[in-house]
Structure 1
Amino acid sequence: MEHLSHKRKLSIMFAIIAAMFFAAINQTLVSTAMPRIIAILGGMEYYTWVITIYMLTSTLATVLVGKLSDIYGRKPFILAGIVFFIIGAFLCGFSKDIIQLITYRGIQGVGAGIIMSSAFTAVGDLFAPRERGKWTGVMMAVFGFSSVIGPTLGGWLVDNLDWHWLFWIFLPLGIVALVMIVALFPKVERKASESIDYAGSLFLSLTIIPLLLGFSWAGTKYAWGSAQILGLFGSALLFAIIFIIVQMKAKSPVLPLSLFRNDIVTISNVVGFLMNAGMMGALIYLPFFVQGVEGISPTYSGYVTMPMSIAMVVLSAVTGRLVTKTGKYKRYAVIGMPIMIAGMLIMAYMDSIWMAVAAMVVFGTGLGIGMPIFSLATQNAVKPTELGVATASSQLFRNLGGTIGIAVMGTIMQSALVGNMKNAMESGSGFDVSKIDPETAKKLAPFQNPEMLLDQPRLQQLLDTMPANVQPILHNMIETLRSALASSLTTVFLAGTALVVLAFVLTLFLREIPLRTSNKMAEPETEASPSLETA
């Protein structure tokens, strides 16, 4: 599609951005409100599953669509992604319990994975790598803009309207995006010489599913050393071996192993995995600090995350233009990632809303500078015929990192919370309901669950109904819960920081090659020997 006129390219980009914004705003809209939704539906032990299932299905969709879109073109898959996302969002609004919500979020995840994979690959079809830097920044800015208005709007909606509207309010935008893609996106003929790798797709799916289930259930539903978890990890290993064998023999593999002989692709993907594991695993629990520890409503919780999004929007756009102007990209990753690390360290030790805001500004600055670089590096290092599958591999590793990171951080969170509550009881700083008469103790039972901290209206309502002589005990219980939750979050943020530090170290080994000025590439570019050149 590089041959299209500039005006036609802009029209197609507008349609792509509309589709991406539809998926992104629905995701950010829910993020701030999710603690309240979980408190209403119940099942805090399944909190991470609402996120994990979304990441699991989007991961599978991303990698499977990558190769298929190289064969059939991007248009049918972007359309299918929008349809899946609309259906999932519509059903989410009718959820009666946490299990239904998890199921319907899985459908949304399928749509999101297809949209994101196809959209980023389509940009690679439209623009040469040198010009792609600018558009990568624009697409990051779309995510940033949705992050600016999404959390705040989501918080306001859940405070003032029924929570179901969170999933329904932007459905008309999905219809608009669907119509725009149909009208503006060119159709690409199927590549007759390409075949579909059904066996590879099957065994890749059978590898990813037990792997992610194992990480999601380990330490929460089952012990890490339990037969169930070991069985899942063993199954993932077995299917991974079969998948590799199938890919070595496949005529047109769904995930060509030759991609990973390219050191740029391999390092970029591993960095993306580690970065997302640390970042997503930690940031998903930020609302727990704002709403649970500090007692801020979901509406104002969105204002806390807004500075991060604004910083990311501005810096990603600026970085994209600088990459296009200079043709250099590695330096921005080397600059941005230490800033991200600094932001996460502030999160680990924050003890006020203002420190949380400062953490968001610093983290968003680093994110805007460094995050767009690795997808660009991957796309620039492969042949145009491998653009879809290379982009899918990048998205796959990021999604795997995010999913595993959320699951592992959830385990760390739950384990730390149980330990902190136990320590509070043993040290005498907690509360001992055994010394209270049984009737009063029964009334106080809800206040022993940290989940209560996430539903401030209900908490205040219960406080108001309690007799005056019990109020001091209640306030002691609440403060103990908040202290235990705060300490647990510190552990989570530090664990996330450690992963991002490791990603930064690997970034230093990323080989930089010149950004091409067209989608035609010379083979020697990808075969050059590795170096530590930092631009």
Structure 2
Amino acid sequence: MEYESSALLPKRELYFVFGALMLGMLLAALDSTIVSTALPTITGDLHGASHLAWVVVAYLLASTVSTPIWGKLGDLYGRKQFFQWAIILFLAGSVLCGVAHSMFQLILFRAVQGLGGGGLMVGAQAVIADIVPPRDRGRYAGMFGGVFGAATVLGPLLGGVIVEYWSWRWIFFVNLPFGILALFVTAAALPASRQRVAHVLDYAGTLVMTLSASALILFTSLGGSTFPWSSWKSIGLLVVGLVAGVIFVIIERRATEPILAPHLFANRVFSSASAIGFVVGFAMFGSMTFLPLFFQTVRHVSPTESGIRLLPLMVGLFGMSILVGSLVSKGRRYRPFPIMGTIVMTVGLALLGTVGVVTSSYTLSLYMLILGMGIGMVMQILVTAVQNAVNPSDIGAATAGTNFFRSIGGSFGTAIFGALYLNNLPHEIAKNFASIGVTKPAVDLSTITPATLKNLPPNQLHAVLNGIASSIQSIYHWAVPVGVIAVVLSLTLPEIKLRASLHPVADEVPMSNVDPLLESS
């Protein structure tokens, strides 16, 4: 399968295609977080509070599991048609979610939407690799990274505004005009594959990989909340996920055209970038989960306002992602940026570990800006490095693999940090109550919400808020060693000269003993 080179694609058409790809990625990234602030309204309307977590898990599960499959199908049969099918599937899921009349229907249709979302995420990044050479790809990759980060932060804010002024159903209907626009633009401007070759699909690998990833994501998403970590359900999901993972590796070694080819892991850039992505995803998604909680409980702000207060994080992530992409496109070496980025990210995590009840909003905004800048220097540049280092026939699978490991890392980070928070919170609150001589709280503290906090006497409220702040601090203390691991892993990323054409694989530039942070481009 081959695509026309970017030299044969007029600039005007390239910009149209890029805009459509950006729209696709924006929609997919937004819908992973936009429902969070609408969940109380949705569950109240559909009478399904006991299944609340599944509205989020269904999308996360479907999008993560489908990512490697979409990537491989694009490699085999051409990315244009599968990107368009992903748009159609996503839009169909959006319409069905908007008209759902029960929690079961909504959860099922969220999974359909997630299947399309997985194709949009990997398809956008893989298509741009087909029409823009690596040397020029940095600026486009930077925009992708910025959009992904912005969507992660803006999703809850946009969801809160839509629920407050319209209906929760418009969270899904709002996707339609933008998705239809992206569909028409890609149909008109995106070049199609020039070859049709018979291929053998890896059905066994697809099935076992889906089973493994599904079990692990369900373990991290539902364990500790829907059922205890020590329950047979949690342990069973973990065992099934690990065993299926081992079987998947065995199958892939024997498959004619594997979903995630073993030879990719022999590529130092892919293996390093996947490890870095996993750890950065672990720290990023795991730690970002607690910022809205801090704002809504400790600072007493609404879900919508808590989204607004996350804007410094978005500005840092979006701005630095674009800046790094632009610098790489101008000839700067990419290897120093993940190193610097993981260092800055770790500093940001450490600073957030000092935030307490009395920390000023300006100081907290500065800390979030630093964290966002660090993440912005890392995430998308890894995709550019991987696409440059693999064969064109593997670009889809390699891009999907990088995103897949980041998503799995995020799932594990959210689950583990969440478990640490829930374990530490009762001890912190009990310690604070003991210091003021309170033995029986005025409300049930097992279900703390912003609403229940208003019913506490001032002295008990102060004790609870300090307990919540201290517990969140401990999460960032745990996140710092994870950031250090990311720094160490980033040092293993090889520097590969970005090629100026689409197809030849570049030669590796020997790693130097000189400090890469001090080297000129």
Coarse TM-score class (shorter-chain normalised):
0.7 to 0.9
The residue aligned with 1:265 is 270
Quote the residue 1:438 is aligned against. Answer: none
In structure 2, the residue matched to 1:173 is 178
Q: Quote the offset at 1:486 in angstroms.
A: 1.9
- Within 5 Å, which residues of 2 pair with 1:377-416? 377-416=385-424
- What is the distance in 1 between the residues matched to 2:93 and 2:84? 14
- Corresponding residue to 2:500 among 494, 498, 517: 517
> Mean alpha-carbon deviation: is it higher for 287-296 or for 108-117?
108-117
**What pairs with 1:2-401 in structure 2 (closer than 5 Å)?**
2-3=4-5, 4-7=8-11, 8-31=13-36, 49-93=54-98, 102-146=107-151, 150-188=155-193, 191-351=196-356, 352=359, 353-401=361-409
1:430–1:530 distance in 2 versus 1, CA, 3 Å? farther
TM-aligned CA deviation for residue 328 of structure 1: 0.7
CA contact (8 A) 2:31 2:155 kept: yes
Q: Which residue of 2 aligns with 1:436?
A: none
Distance change >3 Å, CA 500–CA 106, structure 1 → 2: farther
Q: Secondary structure at 2:482's aligned position in 1? A: helix
Q: Distance in 1 between matches of 2:69 and 2:129?
A: 18
What does the per-residue CA deviation read over 1:94-120, in whole Å, with 9 as the maximum and x for residues that have no partner?
567766655443333222111011110
SS in 1 for 2:301: coil
1:417 to 425, 430, 436: 425
The one of 441, 446, 468 equivalent to 1:485 is 468
Count, aligned residues: 508
After superposition, give the CA deviation of every residue in 1:235-284 in whole Å (9 maximum; x if it has no partner). Answer: 22322222222111111111110110111111110010010011101102
Deviating more after overlay: 509-518 vs 305-314: 305-314
Q: Distance in 1 between matches of 2:354 and 2:95?
A: 39
CA shift for structure 1 position 42: 8.8
Taking the aligned partners of 2:402 and 2:221, their CA distance within structure 1 comes to 22
Q: Residue 479 of structure 2 is aligned with which of 496, 519, 523?
A: 496
CA-to-aligned-CA distance 1:288-317 (integer Å, 9 cap, x gap): 001111101223222211122122222222
Q: 8 Å contact 1:511–1:531 — kept in the other structure?
A: no
Cα distance 1:21–1:238, how it changes in 2: closer, same or farther (>3 A)?
A: closer
Which AA in structure 2 matches 1:432? K
Deviation (angstroms), 1:382: 0.5
Q: What SS does the aligned partner of 1:123 have?
A: helix
TM-score (norm 2): 0.88
Residue 448 of structure 1 pairs with residue 445 of structure 2: yes
Does the C-alpha gap of structure 1 residues 452 and 163 become closer, same or farther in structure 2, counting only changes over 3 Å?
A: farther
Q: Would the aligned equivalents of 1:304 and 1:360 in 2 still touch at CA under 8 Å?
A: no
Cα distance in 2, alignment partners of residues 86 and 115 from structure 1: 11
Q: Which residue identity lines up with residue 140 of structure 1 in the other structure?
A: G
Greater shift, 214-223 or 121-130, is seen at 214-223
Pair 1:521–1:84, CA change in 2 (3 A): same
Q: Distance in 2 between matches of 1:199 and 1:113?
A: 20
Q: What are the superposed Cα offsets for residues 477-500 of structure 1, whole Å, 9 maximum, x if unpaired? A: 444433332222222222233222
- So what's the TM-score if we normalise by structure 1? 0.85
Change (3 A) 1:475 1:507: same
Alignment-mate amino acid for residue 486 of structure 1? A
Give the distance between the partners of 1:42 and 1:292, measured in 2 at CA.
25
1:34-59 CA-to-partner distances (Å, cap 9, x unmatched) read 57767988988877654443322111
SS of 1:254's equivalent? coil
Q: Distance in 1 between matches of 2:316 and 2:29?
A: 17
2: distance between equivalents of 1:383 and 1:340?
31
**Percent identity between the two aligned chains:** 32
The answer on whether the counterparts of 2:20 and 2:181 sit within 8 Å (CA) in structure 1 is: no
Quote how far apart the aligned CAs of 1:508 are: 1.1
C-alpha RMSD of the superposition: 3.0
Report the Cα offset of residue 425 of structure 1: 5.0
**Whole-angstrom distance in 1 between the partners of 2:446 and 2:98:** 26
Q: Post-superposition shift, 1:146?
A: 4.0
Q: Which structure 2 segments of 5+ residues have no match?
A: none
The structure with the largest helix share of the pair is 1
